[in-house]
Amino acid sequence: MTITTCVFDAYGTLFDVAAAARIAAAEPGREAFAENWPQIAQDWRLKQLQYTWLRAVADAHTDFWQVTQDGLDYALEAAGMADPELRERLLALYWELSAYPEVPQMLADLKAAGLQTAILSNGSPEMLAGAVDSAGIGAVLDDVLSVQDVGVFKPHRKVYDMVGKRFGCAPEQVLFVSSNGWDAAAAAGYGFYTAWVNRAAEPMDRLPWKPQVVLQDLTGIAKLAKDRA
């Protein structure tokens, strides 16, 4: 079946989740943070994801902004840098995450090929709107879908169900793209044709399913989609 719809995870896939910490680290007066920011950014992201999984299995859903704050609080405390001013600065920067350089042209190429495009994310609608506006990619997206509408985080099947309900397409008509190996794998198990954007050259997750394609970045997505359209 041909691809009609290209759906992207947001954080880490379209938007650089390390950008907030990297920008803060370059600001004057943050020399101590500059020495520790890569580890803090890594811990922040890991705890953010872990808290979504734990809340999903415990049926204790909350807004993604809450788990984002909780993950940062853990990371800062672990580094011995639980500074309220630094915390507020990092959270403010998270609303303005930059897109990876190849994102705008890649999405424009998909739209030029007549494909539908969307984000499917754990992020809250407000957070996603801020990121989309900051990156200037709203004009090349047909929709931004948030798990807030179904009340559970990825990789629950209810999240992937949102794509077919919104676009009226079969799973086999969807190219799903994520930088999270577990997300790409679960989406493949759901029935999507999936691409894992493995920027960090990580090992494949040991799960019952595997993404069909592994890429280093998003530059090949438009060709991949058009070849199957």
- Catalytic residue positions, numbered: 9
Provide the 8-state DSSP code for 229.
-
By the 8 A CB rule, do 10 and 128 touch? yes
Pairwise CA distance, residues 127 & 141, whole Å: 16
Within 10 A of 9 (CB to CB), how many other CB atoms are there? 23
Residue type, 108: A
Give the burial class of 100: count Cβ atoms within 10 A of its Cβ; 0-12 exposed, 13-18 middle, 19 or more buried: buried
Which residues face 174 on adjacent strands? 5
